[in-house]
Amino acid sequence: MKREQARKLAKELVSKMTLEEKASQLRYDAPSIPRLGIPAYNWWNEALHGLARAGTATMFPQCVGLAAMFDAPMMKEIGSVVATEARAKYNMQSAAGDRDIYKGLTLWSPNINIFRDPRWGRGQETYGEDPFLTARLGVEYIKGLQGEGEYLKTAACAKHFAVHSGPEGLRHEFNAVASPKDLWETYLPAFEAAVTEGQVEAVMGAYNRTNGEPCCGSKTLLKDILRGKWNFQGHVVSDCWAVRDFHTHHGVTHTAPESAALALKNGCDVNCGNTYLHMLEAYQEGLVTEEDITAAAETLFTTRYMLGLFDPDCSYNSIPYTENDTPAHKALSLKAAENSMVLLKNDGILPLNRESLKSIAVIGPSAASVEVLKANYCGTASQYITLLEGIREAMSPETRVFYSEGSHLYREEVESLGLPGDRLAEAEACAKAADVTILCLGLDATMEGEEGDTGNSYASGDKPDLLLPACQRKLLEKVVSTGKPVILVVTTGSAMDLSYAQEHCRAVLQAWYPGGLGGRALGRILMGDVSPSGRLPVTFYRSENTLPDITDYSMEGRTYRYLKQEPLYPFGYGLSYTRFRYQDLKLPTVIQAGETLEVTVSLENTGAMAAQEVTQLYLSGHPGENQPIRSLCGFSRTALQPGETRELTFRIPAKAMLTVGEDGSRRVLPGTYTLSVGSCQPDARSQALTGQSCLLGSFRIEGAWDFSL
């Protein structure tokens, strides 16, 4: 249904409501209005990496792992699967009269904040540190969620707007200060793409203030930029209980009615929380008008009409419950887990030879853990294959598998629960008895995640540093000291300091939080049934000591675009079991400012194994000071058989060539630029680790182009 038609119907319906009824519809748990035939509707549902918190659903890898695929088309495919399952469950639940929380069609995903600091607990929910990658993946996920039918399949929500990436412990009172340059170069581009390209139906405000204004009531963000500059037509939702923070923590208002009025006046249509229960008080105090309340209600009912919720013949109503958690959906989850894992080091020990391997030790607190598969904002998978189970499944039946937990996940768990001490002696015995050890270390959502999250009993939050817990570091050193080959598998949602492992382990594999079938994906990669093909969507620093304070929102010294020190593992890095060769890079020598740059290159699989390659394009040479060292401007994933060659074509949009000034101006400026094409960044560290060089080409831009919509 076109928005104009939906808005007309919404205005007609809302015109029949009393003021009290209209105000009631601005709550996330909107009650029914029986006299108008309006059922209750709960706006709060989650779909970060699969439908969440409402029972069984296909569980995909956590978002940072999905980002490691560098695969925009697959993100759209995953989004479509999630939307199908949302409809299947909504149809079943609403038919039973169940309209509770987490059961609607407004999905509060994706999280397109920038993972600017590896200590941020919620960074696992994002698509990494790069604005271009985040925008491309976010737009495709939104398109998958919303579909291309007569009605919206589901309504996606881009969050958290804006300049939001920690610290978790201060988010209810914190003021994120971002310069105009950082705002428009780093923090806003993914949201702009979500609105102008993805046509996202909803935007969620953040908890924090940005440059002094609370995000859920910010005139600058919600009225001037979102509604004004970008012409956003959908609805705005507050983060949960964020409007209450206006008077209880930010101190920008004094009472709940004042907070409700500030949010509503600046364009926040629906309140996740209870502050809009005071909306009629705000009206009685003259802080809002009936027209303000009416406008928000009309916006919200426009979305409900666009979802087809008042049309019994909506085609999506026929999706049966059996379309939830199907074998095909689980197969896609497995494929995503395989494509997300990043091989960080391999001295040749991988892939393992299942036929010649007589014994193997699987050690570590992540090995048999279901929690490391899940991450936060997850549903319930109908099948969990742990890392240990996946390795056993992939091994030859004749291979002896020794297992030891080795240590608890973290020492605090031992002390608080009165658990027995670490099992170092057993771990050492297992490692000595085996031909090779798979050591599974890392974190889970009880250790990094959202502060105070109602779905997170441990309240996790940010990491204090980049180190594995002390008990796990002790286990790593003990297993390495046996002298037997050690392959480290890391389950985290963020970058860690893996310097010791890089020096002492034969191979290191970043598995993220890989979803319900993550163990099967790991086993297949270790045994060489599939080649690893993930690439890092974040920089792995050598230590947090080189990072600015987490409260500093300047991009100076952060991420690959502004990092001056050599990283441990660079953004975009990842190894394969085969080799690829790039040849015949072709691009024009001159283009006019504002034009698209067309690039072609030949890619060949020169190894002996079928594999997928992630091609990355980086642009450097922006004129002026304080410019990025380089910026990702294109990527693709290509599957090639041994000896197969394919010509790839990339069209670099003019927006990817923008130079952002200190005043936030965005222009394509004249000058000579360098474009790199290859398996990684064109820096010395990336090329040394991969053993492959990037192709470089230069072109000149003539004229200038001011970017405006």
Q: How far apart are CA 454 and CA 577, in angstroms?
A: 42
* Residue corresponding to tokens 């390795």: 391
Q: How far apart are CA 627 and CA 373, in angstroms?
A: 39
Residue type, 288: V
Q: Which of 236, 247, 302 is nearest to 271 (CA)?
A: 236
Contacts of 645 (CB under 8 A, 6+ apart): 602, 603, 604, 605
Could you tell me the CA-to-CA distances from 318 to 90, 247, 282, 312, 323 in Å, in that order? Answer: 11, 46, 42, 10, 10
Contact predicate 218/203, CB 8 Å: no
Could you tell me the CA-to-CA distances from 64 to 110, 336, 345 in Å, in that order? Answer: 12, 12, 19
What ranges in 25-128 are assigned the alpha helix state H?
A: 63-67, 72-95
* Residue corresponding to tokens 């031992």: 414
Contact predicate 47/109, CB 8 Å: yes
Tokens of 393: 């499944």
Strand, helix or coil for residue 512 = coil
Q: Decide if 239 is catalytic.
A: yes
**Where is 237: in which H helix or E strand?**
strand 235-237
Residue type, 700: R
Strand, helix or coil for residue 426 = helix
Residues β-bridged to residue 30: 41
Sheet with 580-586: list strands edge to edge.
Answer: 580-586, 597-605, 645-652
Catalytic residue among 117, 130, 239, 245: 239
- Active-site residue list: 239
